[in-house]
Structure 1
Amino acid sequence: MLTIIAAAAENNALGKDNDLVWHLPDDFKRFKKLTTGHHIIMGRKTFESFPQPLPNRTHVVITRQQDYDNENCIVVHNLKDALAFASKDEQPFIIGGGEIYKQSLSYADKIELTRVHGEFEADTYFPELDMNDWELVHEEFHEKDEKHNYAFSYLTYERKK
Protein backbone atom coordinates (compact mmCIF):
# COMPACT_ATOMS: atom_id res chain seq x y z
CA MET A 1 0.00 0.00 0.00
CA LEU A 2 1.51 3.31 -1.09
CA THR A 3 0.72 6.24 1.21
CA ILE A 4 1.23 9.94 0.58
CA ILE A 5 1.94 11.84 3.79
CA ALA A 6 1.87 15.63 3.83
CA ALA A 7 1.00 18.73 5.81
CA ALA A 8 -0.73 21.35 3.67
CA ALA A 9 -2.59 24.55 4.41
CA GLU A 10 -6.15 25.26 3.32
CA ASN A 11 -4.74 26.84 0.14
CA ASN A 12 -2.60 23.67 -0.32
CA ALA A 13 0.61 25.52 0.61
CA LEU A 14 3.38 23.09 1.57
CA GLY A 15 6.44 25.26 2.00
CA LYS A 16 8.54 28.19 0.98
CA ASP A 17 12.26 28.40 0.28
CA ASN A 18 12.62 24.64 0.89
CA ASP A 19 11.18 24.84 4.41
CA LEU A 20 7.81 24.46 6.11
CA VAL A 21 5.92 27.66 6.88
CA TRP A 22 4.64 26.42 10.27
CA HIS A 23 5.91 24.40 13.21
CA LEU A 24 3.57 21.68 14.52
CA PRO A 25 5.40 19.39 16.99
CA ASP A 26 2.50 16.91 17.24
CA ASP A 27 2.47 16.55 13.45
CA PHE A 28 6.23 15.82 13.47
CA LYS A 29 5.62 13.12 16.11
CA ARG A 30 2.84 11.58 14.02
CA PHE A 31 5.01 11.67 10.90
CA LYS A 32 7.81 9.92 12.78
CA LYS A 33 5.47 7.28 14.22
CA LEU A 34 3.91 6.47 10.84
CA THR A 35 7.08 6.46 8.72
CA THR A 36 9.65 4.86 11.05
CA GLY A 37 10.82 1.50 9.72
CA HIS A 38 9.62 2.25 6.18
CA HIS A 39 10.88 3.52 2.84
CA ILE A 40 10.31 7.25 2.38
CA ILE A 41 10.31 8.51 -1.20
CA MET A 42 11.07 12.16 -1.87
CA GLY A 43 12.56 14.63 -4.27
CA ARG A 44 16.15 15.79 -3.91
CA LYS A 45 15.25 19.22 -2.54
CA THR A 46 13.10 17.65 0.18
CA PHE A 47 15.98 15.34 1.13
CA GLU A 48 18.43 18.24 1.21
CA SER A 49 16.10 20.26 3.45
CA PHE A 50 16.70 17.81 6.33
CA PRO A 51 19.57 18.69 8.68
CA GLN A 52 20.44 14.97 8.55
CA PRO A 53 18.75 11.81 7.27
CA LEU A 54 15.73 10.76 9.30
CA PRO A 55 16.61 7.84 11.57
CA ASN A 56 15.27 4.33 11.03
CA ARG A 57 13.93 4.95 7.53
CA THR A 58 15.21 4.08 4.06
CA HIS A 59 15.51 7.29 2.03
CA VAL A 60 14.72 6.96 -1.68
CA VAL A 61 15.56 10.21 -3.47
CA ILE A 62 14.35 11.11 -6.94
CA THR A 63 16.52 13.54 -8.91
CA ARG A 64 17.05 14.51 -12.53
CA GLN A 65 20.75 15.03 -11.75
CA GLN A 66 22.42 11.99 -13.30
CA ASP A 67 25.61 12.42 -11.25
CA TYR A 68 23.87 12.97 -7.89
CA ASP A 69 25.32 10.73 -5.19
CA ASN A 70 24.75 10.56 -1.45
CA GLU A 71 25.72 7.65 0.78
CA ASN A 72 22.70 8.29 3.04
CA CYS A 73 20.07 7.47 0.43
CA ILE A 74 19.12 5.41 -2.59
CA VAL A 75 19.25 7.66 -5.68
CA VAL A 76 16.83 7.08 -8.56
CA HIS A 77 15.86 9.27 -11.50
CA ASN A 78 12.10 8.78 -11.76
CA LEU A 79 9.08 7.83 -9.69
CA LYS A 80 8.67 4.39 -11.26
CA ASP A 81 12.20 3.38 -10.22
CA ALA A 82 11.56 4.73 -6.72
CA LEU A 83 8.34 2.70 -6.43
CA ALA A 84 10.08 -0.42 -7.75
CA PHE A 85 12.87 -0.06 -5.19
CA ALA A 86 10.39 0.55 -2.36
CA SER A 87 8.15 -2.36 -3.38
CA LYS A 88 9.95 -4.60 -0.85
CA ASP A 89 8.26 -2.49 1.85
CA GLU A 90 4.56 -3.18 2.30
CA GLN A 91 4.03 0.44 3.47
CA PRO A 92 6.26 2.95 1.66
CA PHE A 93 5.50 6.66 1.99
CA ILE A 94 5.71 9.55 -0.46
CA ILE A 95 6.90 12.55 1.61
CA GLY A 96 7.26 15.32 -1.00
CA GLY A 97 7.83 17.77 -2.43
CA GLY A 98 5.05 19.21 -4.52
CA GLU A 99 6.07 17.73 -7.87
CA ILE A 100 6.61 14.24 -6.39
CA TYR A 101 3.18 14.42 -4.71
CA LYS A 102 1.59 15.35 -8.04
CA GLN A 103 3.34 12.50 -9.89
CA SER A 104 2.47 9.92 -7.22
CA LEU A 105 -1.24 10.72 -6.76
CA SER A 106 -2.34 8.18 -9.37
CA TYR A 107 -0.27 5.41 -7.68
CA ALA A 108 -1.28 6.09 -4.08
CA ASP A 109 -3.77 3.98 -2.13
CA LYS A 110 -3.96 6.29 0.89
CA ILE A 111 -3.27 9.89 1.89
CA GLU A 112 -2.37 10.97 5.41
CA LEU A 113 -2.91 14.71 5.19
CA THR A 114 -2.42 17.17 8.01
CA ARG A 115 -4.61 20.11 7.01
CA VAL A 116 -3.21 23.26 8.59
CA HIS A 117 -6.08 25.69 9.17
CA GLY A 118 -4.86 28.87 7.56
CA GLU A 119 -3.61 30.17 4.23
CA PHE A 120 0.07 30.79 3.65
CA GLU A 121 2.35 32.28 1.05
CA ALA A 122 4.34 29.44 -0.46
CA ASP A 123 6.34 28.37 -3.48
CA THR A 124 5.39 24.70 -3.24
CA TYR A 125 1.83 23.35 -3.17
CA PHE A 126 0.06 20.06 -2.58
CA PRO A 127 -1.98 18.96 -5.62
CA GLU A 128 -5.74 19.46 -5.61
CA LEU A 129 -7.48 16.18 -4.72
CA ASP A 130 -10.24 14.89 -6.98
CA MET A 131 -12.86 13.84 -4.43
CA ASN A 132 -14.35 11.45 -7.00
CA ASP A 133 -11.22 9.34 -6.35
CA TRP A 134 -10.84 9.71 -2.58
CA GLU A 135 -12.96 8.95 0.48
CA LEU A 136 -12.33 10.63 3.82
CA VAL A 137 -12.19 7.75 6.34
CA HIS A 138 -10.84 9.54 9.43
CA GLU A 139 -10.72 13.11 10.68
CA GLU A 140 -9.22 14.41 13.93
CA PHE A 141 -9.22 18.14 14.77
CA HIS A 142 -6.57 19.81 16.98
CA GLU A 143 -6.97 23.31 18.39
CA LYS A 144 -4.27 25.94 18.30
CA ASP A 145 -2.39 25.85 21.64
CA GLU A 146 0.82 26.99 23.33
CA LYS A 147 2.93 24.59 21.19
CA HIS A 148 0.97 24.97 17.95
CA ASN A 149 0.38 28.39 16.40
CA TYR A 150 -2.32 27.02 14.09
CA ALA A 151 -5.24 24.67 14.44
CA PHE A 152 -4.92 21.57 12.25
CA SER A 153 -6.74 18.37 11.36
CA TYR A 154 -5.43 14.91 10.57
CA LEU A 155 -7.31 13.67 7.51
CA THR A 156 -7.00 10.11 6.23
CA TYR A 157 -8.21 9.44 2.70
CA GLU A 158 -8.44 6.08 0.98
CA ARG A 159 -8.78 5.57 -2.74
CA LYS A 160 -12.36 4.75 -3.69
CA LYS A 161 -12.74 1.25 -5.05
Structure 2
Amino acid sequence: MIVMIAAVAENNALGKNNELVWHLPNDFKRFKTLTSGHHIIMGRKTFESFPKPLPNRIHIVISRQEGYQPEGCIVVHSMQKALEICPINETSYIIGGGEIYNLGLTFTDKIEITRVHHNFEADAFFPEINLDEWEIIASEFNQKDEKHLYDYTYQTFSRK
Protein backbone atom coordinates (compact mmCIF):
# COMPACT_ATOMS: atom_id res chain seq x y z
CA MET A 1 0.00 0.00 0.00
CA ILE A 2 1.25 3.46 -0.90
CA VAL A 3 0.30 6.18 1.56
CA MET A 4 0.90 9.86 1.06
CA ILE A 5 1.48 11.74 4.33
CA ALA A 6 1.64 15.52 4.75
CA ALA A 7 0.83 18.48 6.94
CA VAL A 8 -1.17 20.87 4.75
CA ALA A 9 -2.63 24.33 5.40
CA GLU A 10 -6.15 25.35 4.40
CA ASN A 11 -4.73 26.87 1.18
CA ASN A 12 -2.77 23.60 0.51
CA ALA A 13 0.50 25.26 1.57
CA LEU A 14 3.27 22.83 2.56
CA GLY A 15 6.14 25.18 3.27
CA LYS A 16 8.36 28.01 2.21
CA ASN A 17 12.09 28.04 1.48
CA ASN A 18 12.21 24.28 2.10
CA GLU A 19 10.87 24.63 5.65
CA LEU A 20 7.53 24.11 7.35
CA VAL A 21 5.85 27.39 8.27
CA TRP A 22 4.26 26.00 11.46
CA HIS A 23 5.34 23.87 14.40
CA LEU A 24 2.99 21.10 15.57
CA PRO A 25 4.79 18.69 17.93
CA ASN A 26 1.87 16.22 17.95
CA ASP A 27 2.01 16.04 14.16
CA PHE A 28 5.73 15.18 14.31
CA LYS A 29 4.94 12.39 16.78
CA ARG A 30 2.16 11.05 14.53
CA PHE A 31 4.45 11.17 11.50
CA LYS A 32 7.12 9.24 13.39
CA THR A 33 4.63 6.63 14.64
CA LEU A 34 3.12 6.05 11.19
CA THR A 35 6.33 6.00 9.12
CA SER A 36 8.77 4.21 11.46
CA GLY A 37 9.84 0.83 10.13
CA HIS A 38 8.74 1.65 6.58
CA HIS A 39 10.15 2.85 3.26
CA ILE A 40 9.75 6.61 2.82
CA ILE A 41 9.91 8.29 -0.59
CA MET A 42 10.91 11.93 -0.86
CA GLY A 43 12.52 14.46 -3.13
CA ARG A 44 16.08 15.66 -2.69
CA LYS A 45 15.06 19.03 -1.22
CA THR A 46 12.87 17.35 1.39
CA PHE A 47 15.70 14.99 2.33
CA GLU A 48 18.13 17.89 2.61
CA SER A 49 15.73 19.73 4.94
CA PHE A 50 16.36 17.05 7.59
CA PRO A 51 19.35 17.51 9.92
CA LYS A 52 20.12 13.81 9.38
CA PRO A 53 18.30 10.74 8.01
CA LEU A 54 15.23 9.81 10.01
CA PRO A 55 15.85 6.78 12.23
CA ASN A 56 14.26 3.38 11.60
CA ARG A 57 13.15 4.13 8.03
CA ILE A 58 14.48 3.25 4.59
CA HIS A 59 15.00 6.51 2.69
CA ILE A 60 14.33 6.56 -1.04
CA VAL A 61 15.32 9.92 -2.51
CA ILE A 62 14.20 10.98 -5.97
CA SER A 63 16.73 13.28 -7.60
CA ARG A 64 17.66 14.36 -11.11
CA GLN A 65 21.24 15.05 -9.99
CA GLU A 66 23.77 12.60 -11.39
CA GLY A 67 26.12 11.28 -8.73
CA TYR A 68 23.91 12.38 -5.84
CA GLN A 69 24.34 9.70 -3.17
CA PRO A 70 23.79 10.75 0.45
CA GLU A 71 24.93 8.14 2.94
CA GLY A 72 22.29 5.65 4.02
CA CYS A 73 19.85 6.45 1.19
CA ILE A 74 18.66 4.80 -1.98
CA VAL A 75 18.69 7.36 -4.80
CA VAL A 76 16.52 6.96 -7.89
CA HIS A 77 15.56 9.25 -10.76
CA SER A 78 11.81 8.61 -11.01
CA MET A 79 8.71 7.87 -8.97
CA GLN A 80 8.32 4.57 -10.82
CA LYS A 81 11.83 3.44 -9.74
CA ALA A 82 11.10 4.51 -6.15
CA LEU A 83 7.90 2.47 -6.10
CA GLU A 84 9.65 -0.58 -7.58
CA ILE A 85 11.98 -0.63 -4.56
CA CYS A 86 9.11 -0.63 -2.06
CA PRO A 87 7.90 -4.05 -0.88
CA ILE A 88 4.53 -4.83 -2.49
CA ASN A 89 3.03 -6.39 0.66
CA GLU A 90 4.04 -3.55 3.00
CA THR A 91 3.01 0.06 3.53
CA SER A 92 5.34 2.67 2.07
CA TYR A 93 5.01 6.43 2.50
CA ILE A 94 5.43 9.34 0.11
CA ILE A 95 6.54 12.22 2.36
CA GLY A 96 7.11 15.14 -0.01
CA GLY A 97 7.71 17.74 -1.20
CA GLY A 98 5.21 19.38 -3.49
CA GLU A 99 6.54 18.04 -6.79
CA ILE A 100 6.88 14.52 -5.37
CA TYR A 101 3.29 14.61 -4.09
CA ASN A 102 2.12 15.58 -7.59
CA LEU A 103 4.11 12.73 -9.13
CA GLY A 104 2.90 10.20 -6.57
CA LEU A 105 -0.80 11.00 -6.33
CA THR A 106 -1.89 8.58 -9.07
CA PHE A 107 -0.03 5.70 -7.35
CA THR A 108 -1.41 6.45 -3.89
CA ASP A 109 -3.96 4.24 -2.13
CA LYS A 110 -4.44 6.37 0.99
CA ILE A 111 -3.66 9.93 2.11
CA GLU A 112 -2.88 10.92 5.70
CA ILE A 113 -3.27 14.68 6.06
CA THR A 114 -2.76 16.92 9.03
CA ARG A 115 -4.93 19.86 7.98
CA VAL A 116 -3.58 23.03 9.62
CA HIS A 117 -6.51 25.42 9.99
CA HIS A 118 -4.79 28.54 8.74
CA ASN A 119 -3.63 29.99 5.40
CA PHE A 120 0.09 30.54 4.91
CA GLU A 121 2.33 32.18 2.36
CA ALA A 122 4.23 29.35 0.72
CA ASP A 123 6.23 28.24 -2.30
CA ALA A 124 5.32 24.54 -2.11
CA PHE A 125 1.77 23.22 -2.23
CA PHE A 126 -0.02 19.89 -1.86
CA PRO A 127 -2.11 18.83 -4.87
CA GLU A 128 -5.86 19.38 -4.74
CA ILE A 129 -7.68 16.29 -3.40
CA ASN A 130 -10.50 15.49 -5.81
CA LEU A 131 -13.43 14.34 -3.66
CA ASP A 132 -14.87 12.49 -6.67
CA GLU A 133 -11.88 10.13 -6.33
CA TRP A 134 -11.23 10.25 -2.56
CA GLU A 135 -13.37 9.98 0.56
CA ILE A 136 -12.55 10.91 4.15
CA ILE A 137 -12.68 7.74 6.23
CA ALA A 138 -11.38 9.23 9.50
CA SER A 139 -11.15 12.72 10.98
CA GLU A 140 -9.88 13.92 14.36
CA PHE A 141 -9.97 17.62 15.28
CA ASN A 142 -7.29 19.01 17.61
CA GLN A 143 -7.58 22.42 19.22
CA LYS A 144 -4.64 24.82 19.47
CA ASP A 145 -2.89 24.96 22.83
CA GLU A 146 0.33 26.24 24.40
CA LYS A 147 2.43 23.97 22.14
CA HIS A 148 0.30 24.24 18.99
CA LEU A 149 -0.45 27.72 17.64
CA TYR A 150 -3.13 26.52 15.21
CA ASP A 151 -6.13 24.20 15.29
CA TYR A 152 -5.52 21.13 13.14
CA THR A 153 -7.34 18.00 12.03
CA TYR A 154 -5.94 14.58 11.20
CA GLN A 155 -7.75 13.39 8.05
CA THR A 156 -7.47 9.99 6.42
CA PHE A 157 -8.57 9.71 2.78
CA SER A 158 -9.16 6.47 0.91
CA ARG A 159 -9.41 6.14 -2.84
CA LYS A 160 -13.04 5.47 -3.89
TM-score by length of 2: 0.98
Runs of at least 4 residues of structure 1 off by over 2 A? none
Q: Counterparts of 2:21 and 2:71 in 1: how far apart (Å)? A: 29
**Partner letter of residue 84 of structure 1?**
E
Q: Counterparts of 1:69 and 1:52 in 2: how far apart (Å)? A: 14
Q: Counterparts of 1:25 and 1:10 in 2: how far apart (Å)? A: 19
Q: Deviations over 1:37-96 (max 9, x none)?
A: 000000000000000100000000000112111122100000000000113561000000
Q: How many residues align?
A: 160
1:150 lines up with 2:137 in the alignment: no
Q: Report what 2:83 is aligned to.
A: 83
Q: Report what 1:3 is aligned to.
A: 3
1:110·1:156 contact (CA, 8 Å) conserved in 2? yes
TM-score by length of 1: 0.98
TM-align CA RMSD? 0.8
Q: Report what 2:106 is aligned to.
A: 106
Q: Name structure 2 gaps, 5 residues minimum.
A: none
**Partner letter of residue 26 of structure 2?**
D
Q: Report what 1:134 is aligned to.
A: 134
1:119 lines up with 2:119 in the alignment: yes
**Partner letter of residue 80 of structure 1?**
Q
Q: Deviations over 1:129-159 (max 9, x none)?
A: 1111101000000001000000000000000
| 3-state SS in 2 of match to 1:105 | helix
Q: Name structure 1 gaps, 5 residues minimum.
A: none
**Partner letter of residue 41 of structure 2?**
I
Q: Counterparts of 1:15 and 1:77 in 2: how far apart (Å)? A: 23
| 3-state SS in 1 of match to 2:59 | strand
Q: Percent identity?
A: 62
Query: Aligned-pair distance for 1:24?
Result: 0.2
Q: Deviations over 1:3-41 (max 9, x none)?
A: 000000000000000000000000000000000000000
| 3-state SS in 1 of match to 2:107 | coil
| 3-state SS in 2 of match to 1:156 | strand
* CA gap 1:118/1:30 in 2 versus in 1, 3 angstroms: same
1:38·1:89 contact (CA, 8 Å) conserved in 2? no
**Partner letter of residue 86 of structure 1?**
C
Q: Counterparts of 1:152 and 1:7 in 2: how far apart (Å)? A: 9
